[in-house]
Amino acid sequence: MSIDKNTVKKVAGLARLRLSDAEMEKYAGQLNNIMGFIDQLNEVNTDNVEPLPSPVDMDLPLREDKVMDGDCADAVLANAPESVEGFYVVPKVVE
Amino acid sequence: MTELTHLTLAETLEGLEKKEFSAKETTQAHITAVESAKHLNAFITETPDLALQQAQESDDRRAKGDVKPLDGVPLAIKDLFCTKDVKTTAGSNILGNFIPPYESTVSGNLLRDGAVMLGKTSLDEFAMGSSNTTSAFGNVISPWKRTGNSNLDLVPGGSSGGSASAVAARLCLGATGTDTGGSIRQPASFCGITGIKPTYGRCSRWGVIAFSSSLDQAGVFGRTVEDCAIMLKSAAGHDPKDSTSAKKDVPDWPALLNGSVKGMRIGIPKEYRMDGMPEEIEKLWQQGIEWLKASGAEIVDVSLPHTKYALPTYYIIAPAECSSNLARYDGVRYGIREEGENLNDMYEMTRAKGFGAEVKRRIMIGTYALSSGYYDAYYIKAQKIRRLILNDFLSAWEKCDALLTPTAPSAAFAVGENEDDPIKMYLNDIFTVPSSLAGLPGMSIPAGLDKDGLPLGLQVIGKAWDEQTVLNVSRAVEEAAQFTALPQLATRKAA
């Protein structure tokens, strides 16, 4: 399987990364190389093997449904590139 | 008196206790050392004023008899840990001038126990790298030089290269690191110091900027095994704010530390004898085996048959989790923003400008592996092999109590080497990635020098939650190795 420039373009779009033509060429080559290296995983028989999402065997803990923290909008917004009256500001998304 | 920057952390605590010097004096000595070692570029942000204030508070506490476990000890914090009111960058441009409004649990635990923070150390961007050459704030330089008039700048390893370089150069008594696939152990090996990654879940990940959440684990660097045990005891512990943090008591590792390995079974995994591994590393490994045997350990041959699949497994899982975690850098909530014609344009421009090449590459690998049609073939496949890798270790534990391996397949390389081919760079972590995938504790101890006078480390891997055995075996290696070499660029002892 080969990853061409069009695939790179599609993946970059999914990842919300604007890439130049030169970058797309470069990543196409490198991704092919890396995915080729990764393809050796196909040698391993994994029939009836359960995927391991986390190395530590532990149930996800639940906590009581009550407010533990909050009321700190100013601190939360302090690092925002743009905010107004307690809200983040983004470019207009509806016409 | 030995210069304060050349004491171990344990000796410093003793000196403070005996009032041989004050927290302010040792802190000032370290601030001076940091100032004189700017060429190493180990720090992104230095916090001397804060350090002196914390040292003063420490001296005040001590005067009142209210002494904490790390009181007055000057440490450095990897710039992946959020520190309240102190700029935190993750080694990236995308976070801009991010000033966290909160403290990470691990750095908070160290401060709670009286530590003094000298500053934030550099790292590969978002902890992705093995050389500390992907930081947006420039390369970190190792304080070590090859012998024979070589003035080449060497890498400190990565990703926690700033911390490792600073501890080795005697700029701080210890430092935090994070380890996703080897980012504490490999730089510890390159810099001739000790470093431990505890069991996944031992240290809270809360406030540690996420790279690969099922692998990331905080740990510490020190100049001795004992120093690491002392720091790790303060850093670790259950934290309800991290749902993967284990509800387990933290043992008193430093009090229980001893180098006795009599009767212990030490496994030697045959798959770690790699083709093309430098002979010196093979020899050092054999030397380590002899040391432990001489100390009364029983050496057992074990097999970890899926070892060769660990790196390709890692290079699916880590980039997949990275592509998901780094989706949060959108130019809206923190960090830089590049204006665009619309929202999507703004996202794409911001991320294109803010991320460096290695981070972009990993986001691309991860997004590709998770994209429609490939999810089962790559991500689920990798998670299945991850289980086989864990099972390999579980089988090994039926025959032995800990494993001894080399830490890295080479000594430190020069800045710029291994840059042409990403896979070549990834191979640095070949001996550390398998235990990361299995969530196991691992420690690197400096064990010898190569023909160029550069340090080489040995790694001890233990069972989940058995950091004590890892520390004790490491202590035995440390006692046998008697590693006393100093890097050429370390701040000098007073004559």
pLDDT in tens, B34-83: 999 999 999 999 999 999 999 999 999 999 999 999 999 999 999 999 99
Which residues of chain A make contact with B306, given a CB cutoff of 8 A?
44
Average pLDDT over residues A52-70: 87
Do A34 and B199 count as a contact with CB atoms less than 8 A apart?
Answer: no
Average pLDDT over residues B185-202: 98
Identify which of B477, B474, B481, B480 has the alpha carbon closest to the alpha carbon of residue B198: B474
State the pLDDT confidence band at B492, using cuts at 50, 70 and 90.
Answer: low
Average pLDDT over residues A65-84: 92
Catalytic residue among B183, B212, B295, B410: B183
Q: Quote the pLDDT of residue B372.
A: 87
* ipTM score for this prediction: 0.95
Q: Residue A60: phi, psi to the nearest 5?
A: -70, 125
Q: Quote the pLDDT of residue B266.
A: 98
Nearest to A55 among B214, B312, B421 (CB): B214
- Strand ranges (E), B80-197: 116-121, 174-179, 194-197
Q: Quote the pLDDT of residue B426.
A: 85
Compute CA B218 distance to the chain's CA centroid, rounded to the nearest angstrom: 7
Q: In this structure, are residues B212 and B180 in contact, taking their beta carbons and an 8 Å threshold? A: yes
Average pLDDT over residues B192-209: 98
Residue B49's SS3 state is helix
Which pair of tokens denotes residue B303?
A: 């097999």
| Å between A52 CA and nearest CA of chain B | 5
Catalytic residue among B22, B58, B78, B107: B78
> Residue A19 domain-assigned?
yes
Q: Quote the pLDDT of residue B418.
A: 79
CATH classification at residue A20: 1.10.20
Catalytic residue among B22, B92, B159, B160: B159
Whether A1 and chain B come into contact, CB under 8 Å, resolves to: no
pLDDT-above-70 percentage for chain B: 99
Q: Pick the residue of A5, A7, A10, A18 with the most B CBs within 10 A to test the interface with B by mutation.
A: A18
> Residue A88 domain-assigned?
no
Average pLDDT over residues B317-327: 98
Q: Quote the pLDDT of residue B495.
A: 40
Q: Quote the pLDDT of residue B138.
A: 97
Which residues of chain B make contact with A7, given a CB cutoff of 8 A?
368
Q: Quote the pLDDT of residue A92.
A: 86
Whether the pLDDT of residue B494 is over 50: the answer is: no
pLDDT-above-90 percentage for chain B: 93
How far is it, in rounded angstroms, from Cα B265 to Cα B300? 6
> Residue A21 domain-assigned?
yes
Q: In this structure, are residues B358 and B158 in contact, taking their beta carbons and an 8 Å threshold? A: no
Q: Quote the pLDDT of residue B153.
A: 95
Interval B225-277: pLDDT, tens: 999 999 999 999 999 999 999 999 999 999 999 999 999 999 999 999 988 88
Identify which of B346, B291, B40, B302 has the alpha carbon closest to the alpha carbon of residue A91: B346
Q: Quote the pLDDT of residue B206.
A: 98
Identify which of B403, B396, B407, B389 has the alpha carbon closest to the alpha carbon of residue B470: B403
> Residue A73 domain-assigned?
no
DSSP, residue by residue, B16-48 = HHTTSS-HHHHHHHHHHHHHHTGGG--EEEE-H
State the pLDDT confidence band at B1, using cuts at 50, 70 and 90.
Answer: very low
Which pair of tokens denotes residue B455?
A: 């340090």
- B159: annotated active-site residue: yes
> Residue A67 domain-assigned?
no
How far is it, in rounded angstroms, from Cα B154 to Cα B150? 10
How far is it, in rounded angstroms, from Cα B217 to Cα B201? 7
- B214: annotated active-site residue: no
Whether the pLDDT of residue A1 is over 60: the answer is: no
Q: Quote the pLDDT of residue B2.
A: 59
> Residue A81 domain-assigned?
no
Domain around A26: 5-43
Interval B123-178: pLDDT, tens: 999 999 999 999 999 999 999 999 987 789 999 999 999 999 999 999 999 999 99
Bridge-based pairing of strands B265-269 and B298-302 is parallel
* Mean of pLDDT over chain B: 96
Whether A73 and chain B come into contact, CB under 8 Å, resolves to: no
| Contact partners, residue B390, CB within 8 Å, separation at least 6 | A52, A55, B437, B438, B439
Compute CA B223 distance to the chain's CA centroid, rounded to the nearest angstrom: 13
Name residues 22-51 of chain A within 8 A of B (Cβ): 23, 27, 30-31, 33-35, 37-44, 46, 49-51
**How many residues are recorded in chain A?**
95
Q: Quote the pLDDT of residue B493.
A: 56
Indicate the Cα dihedral angle B109, B222, B467, B82, nearest 10°. Answer: 30
Identify which of B331, B312, B123, B85 has the alpha carbon closest to the alpha carbon of residue B211: B123
Residue B190's SS3 state is helix
Number of folded domains that form chain A: 1
Whether the pLDDT of residue B491 is over 80: the answer is: no
Nearest CA in chain B to A20: B352
Side-chain-facing half-sphere of A81: CA atoms under 13 Å: 20
Homologous superfamily in CATH for domain B1-495: Amidase signature (AS) domain (3.90.1300.10)
State the pLDDT confidence band at B377, using cuts at 50, 70 and 90.
Answer: very high
Interval A14-42: pLDDT, tens: 999 999 999 999 999 999 999 999 999 99
Nearest CA in chain A to B384: A51
- B78: annotated active-site residue: yes
Q: Quote the pLDDT of residue B359.
A: 97
Tell me which of B446-450, B460-464, B488-492 is least confident: B488-492
